[in-house]
Each structure stands twice: as C-alpha cells, then as structure tokens.
Amino acid sequence: MASDEILRIHLQELRRGTVVVASLVALRHPDYGYALLQRLTEHGFPVDANTLYPLLRRLEEQGLLTSEWNTEESRPRKFYRTSAEGESTLTRLLEDLAAVQTSMTALIQGVER
C-alpha cells in the first residue's frame, strides 16, 4: 500500500508540469474551462477542476493566455486562448520536453553521451 501512495505522489509531480504544456497546446483553439478539463482528461492528462482553474488564472496573469467572456449563450462562459507570448513560451517548453525525452531514452538504453 505504501508503494501505491509513493507512486501516486511521483506521478502527480511528473504530470504537474505537463498539464501546463498540454493546456497551452489545447488552448491554441479557444475553449472554456470545463471543456478544457474534459479534453485534457480524454487525452491522458487528468486534472482536477480545483487545480485547473487556478492554473488558468495564473497563466493569464503571466500573459501566456488571453480570455474573454462569451455572453451569447444562456450561461456566460470565459473562453481562454494561448497568447502570442504563450506560443513563444510553449515552443521553448516543447523543445525542452523533447530534449528531456531524448536524454531519458538515452539513459534507459545506456547510451553514452
């Protein structure tokens, strides 16, 4: 049982940063919070609403997302979109993620650097 809890904690840590990257990728097309939550879950990035909404606010405050309210539907919804600065940051994050993956693969395969 203890090992299950340890694994859960490490998986949570591993996924924490990837949710930022996944959100910036997904929000290249505008979407509202709940739809993003569903989309991320469908693509293997399960995230709790209590984690996602503060993350969206933080990314917006950092200038990585823009938002606007859609009041045309019966219930107003805040739509988010990756900003130009968010795209630039995402490009760097994806490059780093690819480098980490390459390094991890080499380490696993025992390749000397």
Does residue 73 sit within a domain?
yes
Does residue 3 sit within a domain?
no
Does residue 11 sit within a domain?
no
pLDDT number for residue 73? 82
Query: What total number of domains does the chain contain?
Result: 1
Mean pLDDT for the chain? Answer: 93
Please give the torsion angle defined by the CA atoms of residues 111, 14, 83 and 90, in that order, rounded to the nearest 10 degrees. Answer: 0
What CATH number corresponds to the domain at position 24? Answer: 1.10.10.10
Answer whether 0.85 is exceeded by the pTM: yes
Contact 37, 27 (CB under 8 A): no
Does residue 5 sit within a domain?
no
Is 39 a residue whose pLDDT tops 70?
yes
Does residue 27 sit within a domain?
yes
d(CA 82, CA 77): 17
Does residue 54 sit within a domain?
yes
Residue predicted with more confidence, 43 or 16 = 43
pLDDT in tens, 58-82: 999 999 999 999 888 888 899 999 9
Q: For the residues 33-60, what does the mean pLDDT come to?
A: 95
Domain that holds residue 27: 18-112
Does residue 36 sit within a domain?
yes
